[in-house]
Amino acid sequence: MKKILCRQGTLLAILSAVVLVAGCGSSGGSAAKTDSFVENSYDSAGAVYEEAAMADSSFASNSSGASAGVVADTSRKLITTMNISAETDDLAAVVAGVENKVKELGGYIESSNMSNNVSYSSRVSRNAGITARIPRDRLDEFVDLVEGSTNITNKSVNVEDVTLNYVDIESRKNSLRTEEKRLLEILESAETVEDVIAVEDKLADVRYEIESIESQLRSYDNRIDYSTVYLDIDEVVKFTPVEKESATTRMGKGFAQSVGEVAEAVVEFAVWFVSHIPQMILVIIVIVLIVIIIRLIDKSSKKRRIRKMQKMQSGQMNGPVQSVVNPQGMPVAPVQNVPAAPGQNVPVNHQKDNTDGNK
């Protein structure tokens, strides 16, 4: 059936070329009529080729379906994506082993990064993220390596079936290839410049679509042939348990963990204390200076108060003598303090009555 349809298409193409030449001679090279004829002849031939392609694909599908189911399974287009979270106590060794294994399996590292966590209380000191592309038929070998060298905490797999999309894109590509071939045949039989320009414009559009579709198919092929593995590795002191433990074991491990946390806190405090010694020395110096300045100011203030009191006392002794009045209202001679000779008693408050003098 395919041969018959192809012969019909070839015959139609020859007839279209003959009519094209006759039409160009009778019309004197009219551009509008030429474009219209080229489009009509192209559509007719394209319809024949599309029918042939559909018949061919239908025959192929029927024959494949009638043959065996194994062939259909191998033709499926599957995109596999895997996410793995793991722990290790030697990050550098694990990363080196993963990179070597990827090269050995024929894959490649798409991206890789490593970070250091600067934190006193964090248990995770370093972390690495790797995006690896592994051949789909050797993915299990890579997973076995990761599971054997690390402690897996999380693993997930996603498989996307893109068979229908892939077949649709390939069918579109085959149709465009048929259109391209037919346009090349029409271009060879074109005699006027207008015919050549019209066919070449259409041919450029078809080729652009073919390139776009081929780019999509290459992207699909890469994702299908190479599985993507997102690997996240943490460097830890103690691995996360993956199995449920008994109460006694959990209590013992909890107590040991608490002791370890206390010891770790002491170590972290010692590290903090030693690392902050320069700042503490500076603070102590500032505090000592402030205390010295305060004491100097207080001492100077006390001295000023003492000098002021001494001046006040000396001023009272050198000032004018005031008379003392007795209770009867009569003036009394001021008391003069006369130093006494050694061995003599000093009279206390000896006042002389001035009444005799007045008399």
State how far the alpha carbon of 292 is from the alpha carbons of 85, 281, 286, 299, 301, in Å: 61, 17, 10, 10, 14
Spatial separation of the C-alpha atoms in residues 261 and 236, rounded to whole Å: 14
Using the CB atoms, write b or e for 15-47: b if 16+ within 10 Å. Answer: ebbeebeeebeeeeeeeeebbebbeebbebbbe
Per-residue confidence (pLDDT) for residue 320, from 0 to 100: 54
- Better-predicted residue by pLDDT, 133 or 3: 133
Assigned token pair, 309: 């009191």
Least confident span in 104-113, 120-129, 264-273, 335-344: 335-344
Q: What is the pLDDT of residues 178-233, one digit of tens each?
A: 999 999 998 888 888 888 899 899 999 999 999 999 999 999 999 999 999 999 99
Q: What is the pLDDT of residues 246-257, one digit of tens each?
A: 778 778 877 887
Q: At what angle do helices 193-225 and 163-189 cross, to 10 degrees?
A: 160
Spatial separation of the C-alpha atoms in residues 100 and 94, rounded to whole Å: 10
SS3 143: helix
SS3 155: strand
SS3 243: coil
- Listing DSSP states for 292-323 in one string gives HHHHHHHHHHHHHHHHHHHHHHHHHHSSPPPP
Dihedral angle sign, alpha carbons of residues 138, 143, 144, 149? positive
Report strand pairing: 331-332 vs 324-325: antiparallel
Per-residue confidence (pLDDT) for residue 277, from 0 to 100: 92
Instruction: Give the Cβ contact number of residue 195 at 10 Å.
Output: 21
DSSP category for residue 158 = E
Chain centre to alpha carbon of residue 253: 34
**Could you tell me the pTM of the whole model?**
0.51
Those residues whose C-beta lies under 8 Å from the C-beta of residue 200, and which sit 6 or more positions away, are 187
